[in-house]
Structure 1
């Protein structure tokens, strides 16, 4: 049954929660909602019916609490037990075989040619979240409606950012792990100018072993008034690939950013990574970049290549935009990188990135 059709069914049936269809270990219960959606719901230990809690929605629900994949239950428990994040009700929505339809907001001819036909249904998916999933959760918990977040990886990350941009009245936090922002020639970059709610926070990242980088999107959010390190966080993850294992390694960063117990965190240190990234489309071509990474006092890390300043202390280097550079590989070069009161020195060795 199509999602927009089963939404009508829920007008009549969503007032009666379904029975739990299976029990998953470690504080997670699985529900099948009247519209056919399957959700896994994580409840932190010690939750009180008298207290309100923030809510996190995660796409690709099949992998989220799977003990052989993300195993997010143990990660959440650890962060809560060590008082690094608040208790947060977490809902993982299964794809139900509709991943491309739900998670790709735009028609893309390359995707159709290589992956097959799909019908963009992101609006219907978002409507189901706001009119079916969240009301169902609110029948069981007190939810802080001003602190609802959404998270996803790859296409699920694209969808999370898209929902954050288009539904600011519902979503305050959106996190994209290796989001597929390339869809339809980076269409999502062009939608930033519709953002008006500067109380939102956007997290997005990409591994340096992947095929893209998103500093232009970072800059666009910055120009829209979402300040890097305040409402706008982009992290180029050194040596990370497009895999579940890599996403799990850094998932604590957006969790701390959105639900951390130390919200007044300030920049504590900066480390600059030297990146030599082979082109995925042009054999032999390499991209040379500087990736300044700031760490906040709460442990959250983010990049800011377009905000740092670069000073050549010795050697031969031409600086481009957004951290790009062209060096003379025959000689050693030394660079001073600064951001506000933070600084780091970096040496480019002879023969680097030939």
Structure 2
């Protein structure tokens, strides 16, 4: 009997391995092979189109030119870091000599004021967009919960949301700049005004999707859950904590993902218009520069902007999967 059982197991193992291999190959083709084919076709079409487009600055940059510019931008970043290190080294040596000559001398440490590199501007844009997005979330999510729970408040606030929701960041930016200049008056600002202008503009533009989705999610909570809360006589805050938030998390995160994508697009436009530090300013400066490398560098920035936007969306999706009870709502 035991020999028969062992034979059956061996036969099952022999027939199981090909099925596993087939499933692995199928998933590899679906999730790796097909996307790679799409990317290769895109690169081929891009190369063909670039060779046939002449601009005032020369040929439109193809993939090889853009890759070359990525290398140049990284080399410029490395050279800037070396200059910064040399600047601080010279400053330390100078201060050391002054202190040897005069023990009472108080060393002065000056910050390096070199031009921001491409990588520096990426970091600046990420800090700005996340600051504006988090500020919007702090405002929008509680407001959305209140609107979803109170029909009267929803009726009162909904017209305001519908009016301001479609307003372009280009319309908000001049107003924000004037208000910040009028209210934020200090000879030595801790936070640069340019940062505040971009951050507040981002906040104003990505506020509305979060408010709308949060309120819809709260308003559409299953009536059985509401009845359970009533039976248990939960206080208002406990009702929100135990019933409202867990049930509306999928819709809240849908709004947050939409808002984060809008925030990233808005930021680039705001930086270009207001000449605030960041990727938007980099693109505009290269356009104004008009050198033979400008188109390639702009295209490199465009690819980086798109890739960062994709990564931000994926990060938000992973957070949604982690905190949400409804894993199907965070499938992709």
> TM-score, normalized by length of structure 1?
0.21
Which structure carries more strand by proportion? 1
Q: Please identify the structure whose Cα radius of gyration is greater.
A: 2
Which structure carries more helix by proportion? 2
Larger RCO (CA under 8 A, 6+ residues apart): 2
